[in-house]
Amino acid sequence: MNPLSLLGRAFLKILSDCGGIFLFFLKSFIYSFFPPYRVKLLIKHIEFIGVKSWLVVILTSLFSGMVTAYQVNIALAKVGSQTILGGVVALTLTRELAPVLTAVVVIARAGSAISAELGSMRITEQIDALKIMAINPIQYLMSPRLWAAIIVLPLLTAISDFVGIAGGYVIGTFLLNIDPGLLTARMVDMVELKDIMSGIIKSIFFGAFLVTVCGYKGYYASGGAEGVGRATTEAVVISTVGILVSDYILTTLFF
């Protein structure tokens, strides 16, 4: 087949997916303001997406903060600026690492499960059964998940900020022998409220994005068990890459 034809088909598929994901998000968001309001489902998904992810987020953030502190210290030692280690680590975590790593962890743990669950429901015609029972499937399946992610991602990111900075503090104080007072003072001097809030705002967008992409791929899965696996893989890849790309875009807008 003509390479240009293949390229054109791929481009059209990307455009189709982007439009479909955006419309899927709009439907999930708008339907959430119409009754019935599914509070129990919202709480259930908050527990699944947020509460059951906190341990993985803490472990990821702790070691990320420790590694960041150690590596940044190597660079700062070359110019004799080790005293600003605390501020550099805190800025790196609050602006970039904490929201991005938290989103990636949630994709791996919860996003893939959402895609697989909705894909299984599509293949076994449970979504069609909801329509027959006069239940809006998008409102029932997606709206609670969307708001759950929007609520819990900023909270998980805040936890990630704290734990990551604590890990950097431990490495700087006990392993690198930097004065604790200087370490803390540089954090206070260099980190502003806008730095923390930029990461929190990013996490709100990331939460909505990852749930929408994973839900979309699962909701429209086809092709039996193989199709569910393919949809789950695509959901994880697209949402992860999309978060990294959008992180760059949001960073340029904020700073």
When comparing pLDDT for 58 and 18, which is higher? Answer: 58
pLDDT at position 1 is 63
| Cβ-based neighbours of 40, under 8 Å, separated by 6 or more | none
Question: Is 157 in contact with 52 (CB distance < 8 Å)?
Answer: no
Q: Report percent pLDDT > 70 for the chain.
A: 100
Closest to 114 in 3D by CA, of 216, 246, 21 = 216
The predicted model gives 228-244 an average pLDDT of: 94
Q: How far apart are CA 47 and CA 30, in angstroms?
A: 23
Residue 202 CA: distances (Å) to CA of 29, 117, 178, 208, 246 = 18, 26, 32, 10, 9
pLDDT at position 95 is 93
Q: Rounded to the nearest 5 degrees, what angle is found at the Cα of 153, between the Cα atoms of 149 and 158?
A: 160
pLDDT at position 76 is 87
pLDDT digits (tens, 9 = 90+) for 102-157: 999 999 999 999 999 999 999 999 999 999 999 999 999 999 999 999 999 999 99
**Tokens in use for 161?**
């900020």
pLDDT digits (tens, 9 = 90+) for 68-88: 999 998 888 888 778 888 899
> Collapsing DSSP states into helix, strand and coil, what is residue 49?
helix
DSSP state of 119: H
Chain mean pLDDT for the chain: 92
The predicted model gives 52-75 an average pLDDT of: 93
Distance of CA 184 to the CA centre of its chain: 29
